[in-house]
Amino acid sequence: MSTVKAFQNNPFQENTYIAYDETGQCAIIDPGMESATEQNTVVNFIKNNKLKPVLLLNTHCHIDHILGNKFVFEMYGLKPQFHKGELPLLEAGIAYAPQFGMRYDPSPVPDVFLEEEGSISFGNTTFKFIFAPGHSPAHLCFYNQAANYVIAGDVLFRGSIGRTDLPGGDFKTLIDNIEQKILTLPNDCTIYPGHGPETNIGFEKQHNPFLT
């Protein structure tokens, strides 16, 4: 069964995730590691659990979610995969990082882009794509139906939603996507968000002020 481990990284306290299963293969999702300490924490977890990284995925390409892309590429030979609509954000990262005082080694560009629909697999684990723009132009969430969790990036948080005031953001688009594509998942489906603690669909239906 697929397991998820979270690491909080960089000044934005972004959640980097490692998803892995009994095969020992793993996917690194939204690597936000900025410092050597943050990089070492992730590498040590992979090493200590004898994991083999085979995928690097980005839900979207805001700077706090891609800071570690280059590091993961150099360490494990993995290029990121994301929807091609996020490419302008990836390219803008070089300009954004200094504004926040962050060190950013530019990310490699994907060889393979992810589609709006479909899935990607590693080991015995499959992620179904949920295309949910609104926070960013081509944001994808990764839904593991078998293990009943979704890696939601910056679409939906515990008690909140992704901000929509950044380039490519749109409030109505985000709300529509959350209601039509995320809240239709099972109530006990765990949400692993891009920031803050995990939550679940049922809790957000009842308590999220943006959705009630």
Query: What pLDDT is stored for residue 102 in this prediction?
Result: 87
Domain span at 107: 3-111+119-207
| pLDDT of residue 173 exceeding 90 | yes
Q: Does 56 reside within a domain?
A: yes
pLDDT at 129: 99
HSE (CB half, 13 Å, CA atoms) of 76? Answer: 23
Residue 102 and residue 67 in contact, taking contact as beta carbons nearer than 8 Å: yes
Query: What mean pLDDT do residues 104-113 have?
Result: 97
pTM above the 0.95 mark? yes
Q: pLDDT tens digits for 26-37?
A: 999 999 999 999
Cβ pair 69, 41 in contact under 8 A: no
Mean pLDDT of 48-59: 98
Is residue 9 domain-resident? yes
Q: According to the model, what pLDDT value does residue 96 have?
A: 85
Considering the domain boundaries, does residue 64 fall inside one?
yes
Q: Which among 106, 71, 74 has a CA at the least distance from the CA of 90?
A: 106
Structural domain includes residue 62: yes
| Structural domains of the chain, count | 1
In this prediction, residue 167 carries a pLDDT of: 87
Name the percent of the chain lying above pLDDT 90.
Answer: 93
**CATH code at 148?**
3.60.15.10
- The confidence score (pLDDT) of residue 124 equals 98
Query: Sorting pLDDT into bands at 50, 70 and 90, what band is 99?
Result: confident
* 90: in domain: yes
Residue 49 lies in a domain: yes
pLDDT tens profile 180-206: 999 999 999 999 999 999 999 999 999
SS3 annotation, the chain: CCEEEEEEECCCCEEEEEEECCCCEEEEECCCCCCHHHHHHHHHHHHHCCCEEEEEECCCCCHHHHCCHHHHHHHHCCCEECEHHHHHHHHHHHHHHHHCCCCCCCCCCCCCCECCCCEEEECCEEEEEEECCCCCCCCEEEEECCCCEEEEECCEECCEECCCCCCCCCHHHHHHHHHHHHCCCCCCCEEEECECCCEEHHHHHHHCCCCC
In a domain, 212, yes or no: no
Residue 134 lies in a domain: yes
pLDDT for 121 equals 98
pLDDT-derived band at 159, boundaries 50, 70, 90: very high
